[in-house]
């Protein structure tokens, strides 16, 4: 397993997609902050609006919210599609599969994807913290009272935890699509459609309810969309995400229910991906 992980590390860290879809985030944040510091230096001495501790910390934790955003899921899904479906396009599976367990090959890919995104998000978070402080210093603003190491770790930890479920769901769903279609483009299109429809149904479900009340109500509880949003709400706000329906009913589930449904979908898709890959004729 460690050998498979090391092989994936060598393969993926050299791949162009890793630079454009993974290391893109710290690079973009660094460029944006350098511009912001340059602007601040050009207007040094000008009055600036004071920032509260909560707002200051929230600005530095933006990167962790990316997996919960539609654009973030599309970018993450694009990388997952390249990693999994790329092996079919490169025609390299037939060279690897005979020498290793198929399960270990997929686990190595999953592990490397998780580690790469964790590394890039951590690096981006550090850049955000350092340059938010530098920009404030250039503008003559002191770090707000209440900004402590404990407060920063709590905010960043909650934001990271809130994005974990959407990240894993995207990994499982796009990974399965890549294995079934054997096509990077097809897997990416499926990932885009799933992410957009899921978000739209969470927002538009209540408006569709009058046309098929029972069906929409059941789908709202059964599909992963609401549960992913609800888990994030419980982590960041400590309360359920409330969605009122036209008939007066309100969807506001406890976190254990949403965790169970989201986990069932994610694990089910992952299991389907492993099962499909084990039965595939690679030749």
Rounded to an integer, what distance in angstroms lies between the CA atom of residue 270 and that of residue 247?
36
Residue 116 has pLDDT above 80, yes or no: yes
Instruction: Give the model confidence (pLDDT) of 251-260 as tens digits.
Output: 999 999 999 9
Q: What CA–CA distances, in Å, run from 148 to 38, 56, 61, 132, 221?
A: 26, 11, 14, 14, 39
Q: How many domains does the chain have?
A: 1
Give me the pLDDT at residue 50, please.
58
Q: Which of 13-17, 207-211, 262-266 has the highest mean pLDDT?
A: 262-266
pTM, two decimal places: 0.91
Task: Tally Cβ neighbours within 10 Å of residue 249.
Answer: 13
Residue 160 has pLDDT above 90, yes or no: yes
Q: What is the rounded average pLDDT of the residues 80-91?
A: 87
Give me the pLDDT at residue 48, please.
59
Q: What is the rounded average pLDDT of the residues 206-226?
A: 91
Residue 132 has pLDDT above 80, yes or no: yes
Instruction: Give the model confidence (pLDDT) of 227-264 as tens digits.
Output: 999 999 999 999 999 999 988 889 999 999 999 999 99
Q: Is 232 exposed, middle or buried (0-12, 13-18, 19+ CB in 10 A)?
A: buried
Structural domain including 85 reads 2-279
């Amino acid at each position: 397993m460690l050998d498979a992980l090391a092989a994936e590390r060598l393969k993926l860290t050299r791949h162009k997609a890793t630079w454009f879809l993974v290391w893109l985030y710290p690079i973009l944040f660094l460029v944006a902050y350098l511009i912001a510091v340059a602007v601040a230096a050009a207007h040094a001495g000008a009055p600036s609006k004071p920032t509260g501790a909560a707002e200051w910390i929230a600005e530095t934790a933006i990167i962790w919210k990316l997996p919960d955003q539609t654009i973030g899921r599309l970018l993450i899904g694009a990388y997952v599609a390249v990693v999994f479906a790329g092996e079919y396009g490169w025609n390299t599976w037939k060279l690897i599969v005979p020498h290793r367990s198929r399960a270990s090959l997929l686990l190595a890919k999953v592990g490397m994807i998780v580690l790469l995104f964790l590394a890039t998000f951590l690096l981006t978070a550090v850049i955000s913290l350092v340059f938010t402080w530098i920009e404030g210093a250039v503008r003559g603003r002191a770090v707000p009272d209440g900004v402590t190491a404990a407060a920063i770790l709590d905010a960043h930890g909650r934001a990271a935890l809130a994005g974990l479920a959407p990240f894993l769901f995207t990994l499982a769903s796009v990974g399965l699509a890549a294995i079934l279609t054997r096509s990077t483009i097809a897997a990416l299109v499926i990932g885009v459609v799933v992410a957009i429809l899921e978000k739209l149904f969470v927002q538009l479900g209540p408006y569709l309810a009058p046309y098929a009340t029972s069906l929409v109500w059941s789908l709202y509880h059964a599909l992963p969309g609401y549960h992913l949003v609800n888990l994030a709400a419980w982590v960041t706000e400590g309360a359920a995400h409330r969605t009122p329906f036209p008939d007066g009913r309100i969807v506001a589930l406890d976190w254990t229910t949403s965790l169970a449904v989201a986990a069932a979908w994610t694990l089910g898709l992952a299991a389907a991906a492993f099962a499909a890959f084990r039965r595939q004729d690679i030749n």
